[in-house]
Amino acid sequence: MIAEKVLFLVLDGISDRPCEALNGLTPLSAAETPVLNQLAAEGVCGIMDTIAPGIRPGSDTSHLALLGYPPQDYYTGRGPLEAEGTGIHMTAGMIGFRCNFATVDRDGLIIDRRAGRISGTGPLSAAIREGVDLSALGVGFRFESGAGHRAALALIGEGLGDRVSSNDPKKEGVRPLPIRACSDDPADEKTARACNEFISQSAEILAAHPLNAQRVEEGLPPANFLLIRGAGKMGTFPNFQERYGLSGSVISAATLISGIGKVVGLEHIPVPGTTGSVDSDLDAKVEATLGELKRKDFVLLNIKGADEAGHDGNVVQKRDFIEVIDAALEPLLALPEDTLLVICADHSTPCSVRDHSADPVPVVIRGPGVRVDRTVRFDEVSCAEGGLNRIRGCDIMPIILDLINKSHKYGA
């Protein structure tokens, strides 16, 4: 039998380094993970440098690599991917940014970079869309609220560059920075001017918005300023389905990952109750994934949470959340026979580093035609003994395509 469907599960940042608090084990190896272990036992395992050995991946660059879009050819910054995930339809040449609603005091000093972790900013974004006018600069824009205090901006127009600085000083008690062109290219200067104009016009609109007056009355920090960063020019991405002959969906609570899926042409399937954190409704995500596999050939499922615990340096929370993930994955043991299951991480997020590291991640492929090896545990060390040995992120799609008989012969 040859598999026809592919479930590609990315356990974001699940791998780690040995932790003192766990007697030298990693959170993944210390966790009780009967489901992941069984899947590893039934499949072929290995370890993977999602970009290349020694390169610390971002979640964006690593996901592009895993989907077979080498980031060195396709990555143009986080902004455009984040904007696409927030719901802005990005087309080639648009300049995308990530934004935060923030709070400045009467003197213009930033007192909260996340405006008290405000949520429900839809009316504020609508007022900005309505009121801001950049036409004098020959620039149009799109602006959408994201989750919580987040939002995204895209600039549209001729001759816009993406080499501009951020206005976010990354600390409180100081003034926001002016946005500057990072070159003397007139295109970058035009973008910097448009950003500064957008920021000052939106600040006026936000200061006068009734929702903010209400927040002040309730003793909450008003969302009266926008911090913007992550500028990038939207590129072109060959369509996933045309490239691989596979229809596909992406399920992820993280806008960055759903944005990456969308720019390559995967359909984003929102799942209510998922948060991208340790309180996410994983059962709902897994159920939605199994439903999608009935309609589509390929489903990318990203489960965050473990990455967040790694960033927080919280060893015990990371280990415990891995056990929650494992329990939620139980339905995968009974996947239809025609489904190839791939499980990996997009990078390691060691609790000792509180950020991503270049340590290779474990990977397992399970399904028809797979040469089952002797690895019986899904963890960083056990998988290193598996039959896939050590591969790179860009190898995984070719391996998948070969296992489902969709790869092209090289030579005669």
Site for Zn ion, rule CB under 5 A: 12-13, 59, 307, 346
**Least distance to Zn ion, CB of residue 308, Å:** 7
**Least distance to Zn ion, CB of residue 15, Å:** 11
Which is nearer to Zn ion, 344 or 401 (by Cβ)?
Answer: 344
Map residue 159 onto helix, strand or coil. coil
Task: For residue 15, give the nearest of 282, 370, 374, 325 by alpha carbon.
Answer: 325
| DSSP state, residue 14 | B
Helix ranges (H only) for 145-304 are 186-207, 210-217, 240-244, 255-263, 282-295
Handedness of CA 238, 160, 59, 226 (dihedral sign): negative
**Least distance to Zn ion, CB of residue 129, Å:** 30
**Least distance to Zn ion, CB of residue 59, Å:** 3
Q: C-alpha distances in angstroms, 304 versus 9, 14, 35, 324, 362?
A: 11, 9, 18, 12, 16
**Least distance to Zn ion, CB of residue 106, Å:** 36
The angle formed by the CA atoms of residues 251, 379 and 397, to the nearest 5 degrees, is: 45
Which is nearer to Zn ion, 134 or 345 (by Cβ)?
Answer: 345
CB nearest Zn ion: which residue?
59
The half-sphere exposure of 362 on its side-chain side, counting CA atoms within 13 A, is: 29
Residue that has been written with the tokens 């210390």 in this structure: 30
34-41 vs 315-328: helix crossing angle, rounded to 10: 60
Which is nearer to Zn ion, 307 or 359 (by Cβ)?
Answer: 307
**Least distance to Zn ion, CB of residue 62, Å:** 6
Token digits of residue 69: 């879009």
Which is nearer to Zn ion, 149 or 356 (by Cβ)?
Answer: 356
Token digits of residue 321: 């959340």
Which is nearer to Zn ion, 305 or 386 (by Cβ)?
Answer: 305
**Least distance to Zn ion, CB of residue 358, Å:** 13
Residues 6+ apart with CB under 8 A from 409: none
59-66 vs 255-263: helix crossing angle, rounded to 10: 40
Which is nearer to Zn ion, 292 or 308 (by Cβ)?
Answer: 308
Which is nearer to Zn ion, 13 or 248 (by Cβ)?
Answer: 13
